[in-house]
Homo-oligomer: A and B are copies of this chain.
């Protein structure tokens, strides 16, 4: 491993020399700390600008803070996460903090572990973890090291904050919407990559689907394809469901991304939406309202969730230690992808 001869960066010492003051003074100006005269402040500011100085983050990290917020996302392919990130970015912009993202998903629990370790190793000041699959004890262990906000998980912990939507309400809205339209053979696509646990949103959605179906006397029509919340998962799951006889007249995909795959599979089978089959998703990612097949979905206001998560994180970094739980009440957004079944 050869060492590159990077041009040496400007350090706080350079600034101090240039301004003819001590490094302490420069540091204080940087921190907006008390005990600095106006003249000093001006002198230092000038030197900083002149030299194009920017603090060396690693050195700061060694003294405690990195001004960095780590975001753990399963995968950036899910458009809903873009909504969340927009909210987060809006909230922390101007706070001096910078968000960095790491993908946690796609290769099982080991990858998730590696990704979360990566953020802790990099000494981020706080972590927003979207839809973690690991155990609560692992989350609490991390929370001991780093302020933590967990998004999209039905946990309760005294050590970290939670931001989530009420998936029971959301899933019930979809199933009841489809039932109200006259559907009886309503199928569901779920994600079982992380196993089945009542703290996982995908499990809550699936369980609620089964509960509502049963409550409406449709227990015999329960049909679940357990794949994943991805386009491929939706595609494969739908092919599996379409192969059943009789096939469902409606599909409730647990996530918009999976619903996209469902639409593909249905079209490929020569069927139409909503003519032959109704499709509903979950998340109401901004794109599903735009796509020319307007997808019925459950809105949980990703931007608000991201914004709130950012605020909670900054509060925790600021010293709050009590746990906060922020729950959004989802709403149904009916669009053209759902309609009464052709032959009731």
Contact = CB atoms under 8 A, between A and B. Distances in A.
Contacts of A196: none
How many copies of this chain? 2
Contacts of A144: 6-7
A237 to B, nearest CB: 13
A119 to B, nearest CB: 8
A46 interface: no
Contacts of A147: 4
A58 B66 contact: yes
A36 interface: no
Contacts of A252: none
Given A76-B82, A98-B102, A122 B291 contact: no
A264 B292 contact: yes
A285 to B, nearest CB: 9
A61 B58 contact: yes
Contact of A292 (B145, B293, B317): B293
Nearest to A78: B82
A18 B17 CA distance: 42
A117 B291 contact: no
A264 B286 CA distance: 12
A179 to B, nearest CB: 24
A293 B293 contact: yes
A99 B98 contact: no
A117 B55 CA distance: 11
Contact of A56 (B98, B121, B231): B121
Contacts of A65: 1
A264 to B, nearest CB: 4
A291 B260 contact: yes
A89 interface: yes
A114 B54 CA distance: 11
Contact of A123 (B57, B75, B118): B57
Contacts of A59: 58, 62
A159 to B, nearest CB: 12
Q: State the 4 A-B residue pairs at the shortest beta-carbon distance, nearest first.
A: A2-B319, A58-B61, A267-B292, A77-B82
29 contacts: A1-B65, A1-B318, A2-B318, A4-B147, A4-B321, A55-B121, A57-B121, A57-B123, A58-B58, A58-B66, A58-B122, A59-B62, A62-B62, A76-B76, A76-B82, A77-B79, A77-B287, A98-B102, A98-B118, A100-B102, A100-B118, A101-B103, A231-B290, A260-B287, A264-B290, A264-B292, A266-B292, A267-B292, A292-B293
